[in-house]
A and B are shown apart, each in its own frame.
Chain A
Amino acid sequence: MILEVNRAGFAYPGRQHVFSDISFSLADREVLCILGPNGIGKSTLIRCLANLYLLCSGSIRLFGKEMAGLPQVEIAKKIGYVPQAHEIVFPFTVRDFILMGRAPHLTAFSSPGKEDCEIATEKMRLVGIEKIAGKPVNEISGGEYQLAMIARALTQEPAVLLLDEPTSHLDFGNQIRVLEIIDRLADRGLSVVMSSHFPDHAFLASNSVAIMKHGTFMAYGLAEEVVTEENLKQTYGVDVSIAYSPHVARHICVPHRSGTCRCRGERHGECSGTPSSGIVGR
């Protein structure tokens, strides 16, 4: 096992637990998607997995070794962390920004050399942003910035990629593009843990899914077993239809709305049926 989490719990000093009793394991090439409502602690859990926060109880084992006892440099060689996008004060170029991923492989007094630059370029090409290498990071789009952060994490040459809501703040097309890249990276041998707000993304890019609620994993298992109408209703408090669409050859997840659709004109009739019937039939 690459990552083994055993009864993990975390609390900020002097406050209530954010989460407790979370256990799961991550195999080679596995993609785990963590779902859950806002503010439930998904980001905190991912920070704990990156060893940025120390657990209050339980343990995380990385390649069989207790993570709390490992130096951060060793962890950084194994785990790449992609945080949520945030403002950067100084506009480094995309190339310099991605090159920072070489830090765990360099000693304190050294700067990246030619080989490091080549690795960074290769990762840029892998996620498809080599064309904007010379642009300042504050002048690229949100989607490009997300890809740049992924490329930086890949430049660490890690075994595990931790992504904190990689698809939030992205437009529809970029969401799918990012998920496809994650999928491709997993095929190439990376294990991935990501959090998401979209249950549908669990079907798109992951093998296993965990739903976080009430400070623990309410459900954990294969995507098709965990992302159910019942579980989503419990988690988000809205009605959802899960159906298999032969057209896209996967399960899809569509929310209902109370009342009828706000469709107009001649299409009005189509929408008045039950929400799921329209989907499966198409």
Chain B
Amino acid sequence: MEGIPIEESMTTITQQISEAYLLIRPYLTEKIVSSTLIYGTLPILFIVSLFLGRYEVPPSHVLKILAAPLANLFPEQVMHIDPVWTTAEQNVIYLIRLPRVIAAVLVGAGLAIAGAAYQGLFKNPLVSPDILGVSSGAGLGAALAILLSASSFMIQVSAFFFGILAVTITYLLSRFYRTTPTLILVLSGIIVGAFFTALISLTKYLADPYEKLPAITFWLMGSLASVRYTDILLIAPPLLLAAAVLLLIRWRINLLAVGDDEARALGIDTKRMSQVIILCSTLITASAVCIAGIIGWVGLVVPHLGRMLVGPDYRKLLPVTILLGASYMLIIDDIARNLTSAEIPLGILTAIIGAPFFAYLLRKRSVGWT
């Protein structure tokens, strides 16, 4: 390649690409194109997100920094990468961008799968992962910890456990009234959510307005700015485990989505299954919220995008929802850290970008529910 001028090599490459395209075009059915888009978007977004940031790192450096540990596994002759990058660049990629991008993937995928599972469980497309009060609970946990000047680790732990506490109260409350299970569960969730939201307001009211009130407010608006590997190691096990369980039972969520009585007549222990779904979704959402703060819309909108693409069957819907949720969160987070010199809170962007986008989609395509 060295002797050829750059323009010529570019033309050859373009030619080769167009020839290859002509060759594969007969096989490009709509199904293949859409599945390539669905499965290919996330890896590309993942890499592109590592290119982006306030501190300029050339994309070629980013790729080399990422490939370096791999190259070290092989002998020099097989794979060799010249260390052309600076230590600062390496630190930006490995210590700041990579953990943040991984966290965005986990949070987006988690919120989306939890939302999709809840929409099936409650047979309602308007349900989001915080329907049983997990976000309000986590918010109160974080607000209290900030009020008590706890460490950032303790803020996360407190948010996680208060989130789970809120859902536990919701569940016990719904047992207390003994009528239509899912309806009363939603109502209990609204009650508990309102109660915890009021308590959040109370902590804000009591907080020192110059230091702690802004901290609480920013936490509640959601951000991945301060995510480190330790945070990821903390939330990944519960989040991935719960998501795996949901993926394993995903066909049976179909049956719950049709109706409780019919699911029971088909031999499903609906009570046990609702408990499993609630437990998994709560673990996932609490894990996501405790490192990212409260991020709305993802869990509500992404499952709808999934339904528009692959239909309501949870066998296809859940995997696609995971990919879409992760991609959506990556895009939102990229915008959050690149649009202005100051970080924009994620909770604001998910709705500012998500709401018009969703409105547009509703107009354009069949929504996948009635």
Indicate whether A138 sits within 8 Å of B178 (C-beta atoms), given known contacts A47-B261, A89-B123, A89-B124: no
- Cβ–Cβ < 8 Å partners of B263 in chain A: 103
Whether B258 contacts A88 by the Cβ 8 Å rule is yes
* A60-117 at interface with B (beta carbon < 8 Å): 72-77, 79-81, 83, 86-93, 96-97, 100-101, 103-104, 106, 108-112
B342 at the interface (CB under 8 A from A): no
Residues of B within 8 A of A101 (CB): 266
**Cβ B370 vs Cβ A76 within 8 A:** no
Most buried by A among B264, B265, B311: B265
Q: Report whether B267 and A75 are in contact in the complex, using a CB–CB cutoff of 8 Å.
A: yes
Cβ of B268 within 8 Å of any chain A Cβ, yes or no, is: yes
Q: With A83-B262, A109-B248 known to touch, is A90 a contact of B257 (CB < 8 Å)?
A: yes
**What is A's interface to B at a CB cutoff of 8 Å?**
13, 47, 50, 52, 72-77, 79-81, 83, 86-93, 96-97, 100-101, 103-104, 106, 108-112, 138, 156
Min CB distance, B145 to chain A, in Å?
A: 37
Cβ of A229 to closest chain B Cβ, rounded Å: 37
- B264 and A111 within 8 A (CB): no
B254 contacts A72, C-beta separation under 8 Å: no
* Candidates A90, A104, A112, A156; contact of B251 at CB < 8 Å: A112
- Pick 22 A–B contacts, CB within 8 A, sort by A: A13-B178, A52-B261, A52-B264, A72-B267, A74-B267, A75-B267, A83-B259, A89-B124, A89-B125, A89-B257, A89-B369, A90-B123, A90-B257, A91-B312, A92-B258, A92-B311, A92-B312, A96-B254, A96-B313, A103-B255, A104-B266, A109-B249
Chain B residues with CB below 8 A from A138, complex form = 370
Q: Which residues of B contact A91 (CB under 8 A)?
A: 311-312, 368-370
> Does B343 sit at the interface, judged by CB under 8 A?
no
Say if the beta carbon of B212 comes within 8 Å of chain A.
no
Would A111 and B315 be within 8 Å (CB), given that A72-B268, A90-B257 are in contact?
Answer: yes
Q: Considering the chains assembled together, what is the distance between the CA atoms of A23 and B255 in angstroms?
A: 32
Inter-chain pairs besides A96-B313, A100-B255, 6 sampled, C-beta below 8 Å: A72-B264, A72-B267, A81-B265, A90-B369, A93-B313, A100-B254
Q: How far is the CA of A226 from the CA of B268 in the complex (A)?
A: 37
Residues of chain A lying within 8 A (CB to CB) of residue B312:
90-92
Cβ–Cβ < 8 Å partners of A106 in chain B:
251
Contact bitstring B97-110, A, C-beta under 8 A = 1, else 0: 00000000000000
Question: What's the least CB distance linking A281 to chain B, in Å?
Answer: 47
Shortest B231–chain A CB gap in Å is 30
